[in-house]
Structure 1
Amino acid sequence: EGQLRKYVNILITMSISGLWHGLTLNFIIWGFIHTIGSVISNIIEDITKKHPLSTKVTKIFVPVGIIMTFLSVTFSWIFFNSKDFDTAKIFINNILNFNKTNINTVPFVVILLIIIVILLNFFETKLKESLQKILNEKSIVVTSIIIFVLFYLILKFGPDTVPPFIYFSF
């Protein structure tokens, strides 16, 4: 009963979270998608605590988990950001009918950045360690230049203005 109770509690918590954002079908679906993801994640965690995975399985399982989490959370934001359920349906329909859309409307740089960000998730620890090693071994001048370039890139590719607070739109 302990595990089942935990999953019911997750269901209640995420449903309340969805309703807290608004009393529309969109927010209920948004909360439900997060509920499903949380419950699946907890079930997998409970199973792997009892039956630890081999290193080979973990190397496959972790990236798949990252991708599935990214996709489900991204999908749920369709409902969160749509003004109503019909708008969300249209958006999803456009995604599913991708062959009818024009890929040229999405800038290549955006697609490239999405791919890079997804790939960076898999190498985050090694990348962080490598960057720390490089910065520790370089002189203060080189380190300052690297930090300046990174700061410049953030400013260059960041938004021009501060977006309005999301809850002001409700």
Structure 2
Amino acid sequence: MTSTETRHDVLLTVNGVPHRLNLPARRLLSDCLRHDLKLTGTHVGCEHGVCGACTVLIDGKPTRSCLVLAVALDGQEITTVEGLTNPDGSLGCVQQALLECHGLQCGFCTPGFMTTIEAGLKQQPAPTDDEAREMVAGNLCRCTGYQNIVGAVHRAAELKRDSR
């Protein structure tokens, strides 16, 4: 059987690399990242935008990639968890902080937390405990109890300040 679904040419810049793609109109960004671009760091948990595991940055704003059609993002900048590393390939500040503070357990939710924290620290570079909790409130974790993740927000803020 032949598919008659309309396809669209789009340019997505993902982690600083431009990609010209010919995509079906209904391809979700999460599927595009994972299947078309082989960037499997973005996890898909609920497929309803509730859990936050699929959060990526679109033009710097945290966005649930399971809710966005890839063709709607033509010309936009997308950052996934893979794009949070330093240029030399070492862990970025948020990644390092989650490691140091034991904010990872099973790891399924981790990519969404990392991108969310990255964006949050741009808005609030020195968050209070309440602000750190609010920053990550839209992401669900079944393992950690959040305390270590909140600690990682503070540690990432510290690492970012020290790296300037």
Normalising TM by the smaller chain, what interval? Answer: under 0.3
Q: Give 1 or 2: higher helix fraction.
A: 1
Rg larger in structure: 1
TM-score by length of 1: 0.26
Larger RCO, structure (CA 8 Å, separation 6 or more): 2
